[in-house]
């Protein structure tokens, strides 16, 4: 991937951009094989490569600069570096970033100054679906400049016509946190449609979705294929997010339960399940609960035939590893963005052996990745 920002030493976020892509993929494959291989000898499927540019469906841009002259990108110390044309983003996001920069200047929104801890507009966050429709979020320090956005929505629509969802998030604290707990919806539509493998998933402003839609589609298909091969009657999808895994493995003879700590994500998952006409009880059912994954086993009766876990980078809680180890669950599918914590968790669950695994490159030009492993009770 060619990147003028990297060439001009303005951004070093793509840490291995100078390494040929085939070598990037091989290095990641070697790393995950070594870490997982210490706990078994799974069959490794061919790695899933990513497109090299235009792959990220979400741009989280720091707003800096001055009133009327904002920058949307990253910070170099306290100075803003504008990255509106970053090649990692598809054209729909690039167009939106230019429109949002113009909107921010035209409405004279006050960029947040990190060095002086004052100002209002901290971030703009843009999410795109495969059709180029958008969710646009403004992260403000307070409600002081909220009226400027509310009163000029027509201008925002003109500059960013693909924006289906528009909201403001309030993050008052002076620390490196993207968003706060309060979201103010400014559009009539509150969810962005995110079609994946024929399933119309829904993403709300504060719910998580994988950043590379193309590779995510292959991840969901891989997990669906493993689950169908095992053919369990009951499946629990822990850390279910907006329901991607749970909805992909649904079938008439299977009961699926998804749990997620984010109420917004669960609401989105329930909306999709309703739209698909899936029942909430009995064979063929899919239901979603707001619950901490670590506490889920205590809240649900029985033990599933198969569990899917997709934790954050810190991996599984020790208590959940202990429950999975002692539960008698026959199979686990573990999707991880950090093979080090995956390896740690495998060591905590010696009764579950890796039988098949696959690297999926969600994050080209970086050291990050996704790895999925099918575990079977010894």
Q: What residues act catalytically?
A: 337
Select from 196, 282, 279 the least CA-distant residue to 234.
282
Distance CA 332, CA 354 (A): 9
Distance CA 270, CA 157 (A): 29
* 367 C-beta neighbours (distance < 10 Å), count: 11
Distance CA 123, CA 60 (A): 7
Look-up: residue for tokens 């790393």?
31
Strand pairing class (370-377; 352-360): antiparallel
Look-up: residue for tokens 């506490």?
295
Distance CA 233, CA 300 (A): 16
Helix axes 339-348, 21-37, angle to 10 degrees: 20
Give the CA radius of gyration of the chain. Answer: 22
- Residue 91, classified by CB atoms within 10 Å of its CB into exposed (0-12), middle (13-18) or buried (19+), is exposed
The set of residues, in sequence order, having a beta carbon less than 8 Å from that of 315 and lying 6+ positions away, is: 336, 338, 341, 342, 344, 345
The 8-class DSSP code of residue 143 comes to S
Select from 253, 261, 259 the least CA-distant residue to 234.
253
């Amino acid at each position: 991937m060619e990147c003028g920002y990297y060439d001009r030493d303005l951004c070093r976020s793509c840490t291995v951009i100078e390494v040929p892509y085939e070598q990037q993929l091989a290095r990641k494959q070697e790393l995950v094989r070594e870490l997982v291989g210490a706990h078994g000898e799974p069959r490794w499927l061919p790695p899933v490569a990513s497109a090299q540019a235009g792959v990220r469906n979400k741009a989280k841009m720091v707003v800096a600069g001055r009133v009327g002259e904002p920058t949307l990108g990253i910070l170099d110390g306290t100075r803003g570096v504008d990255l509106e044309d970053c090649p990692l983003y598809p054209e729909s996001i690039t167009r939106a970033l230019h429109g949002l920069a113009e909107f921010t200047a035209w409405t004279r929104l006050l960029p947040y100054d990190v060095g002086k801890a004052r100002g209002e507009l901290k971030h703009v966050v843009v999410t795109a679906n495969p059709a180029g429709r958008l969710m646009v979020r403004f992260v403000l320090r307070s409600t002081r400049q909220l009226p400027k956005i509310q009163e000029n929505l027509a201008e925002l629509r003109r500059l960013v016509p693909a924006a289906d969802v528009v909201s403001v998030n309030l993050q008052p604290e002076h620390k490196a946190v993207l968003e706060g707990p309060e979201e103010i919806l400014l559009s009539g539509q509150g969810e962005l449609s995110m079609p994946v493998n024929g399933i119309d998933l829904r993403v709300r402003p504060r719910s998580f979705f994988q950043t590379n839609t193309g590779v995510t589609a292959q991840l969901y298909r891989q997990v669906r294929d493993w689950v169908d091969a095992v053919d369990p009657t009951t499946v629990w999808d822990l850390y279910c997010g907006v329901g991607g895994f749970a909805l992909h493995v649904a079938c008439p003879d299977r009961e699926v339960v998804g749990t997620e700590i984010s109420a917004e994500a669960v609401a989105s998952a329930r909306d999709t399940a309703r739209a698909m006409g899936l029942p909430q009880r009995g064979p063929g059912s899919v239901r979603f609960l707001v619950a901490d994954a670590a506490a889920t086993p205590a809240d649900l009766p029985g033990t599933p035939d198969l569990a899917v876990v997709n934790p954050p980078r810190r991996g599984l809680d020790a208590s959940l590893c202990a429950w999975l180890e002692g539960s008698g669950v026959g199979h686990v599918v573990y999707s991880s963005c950090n093979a080090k914590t995956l390896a740690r968790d495998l060591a905590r669950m010696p009764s579950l052996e890796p039988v098949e695994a696959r690297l999926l490159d969600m994050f080209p030009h970086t050291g990050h990745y996704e790895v999925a492993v099918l575990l079977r009770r010894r």
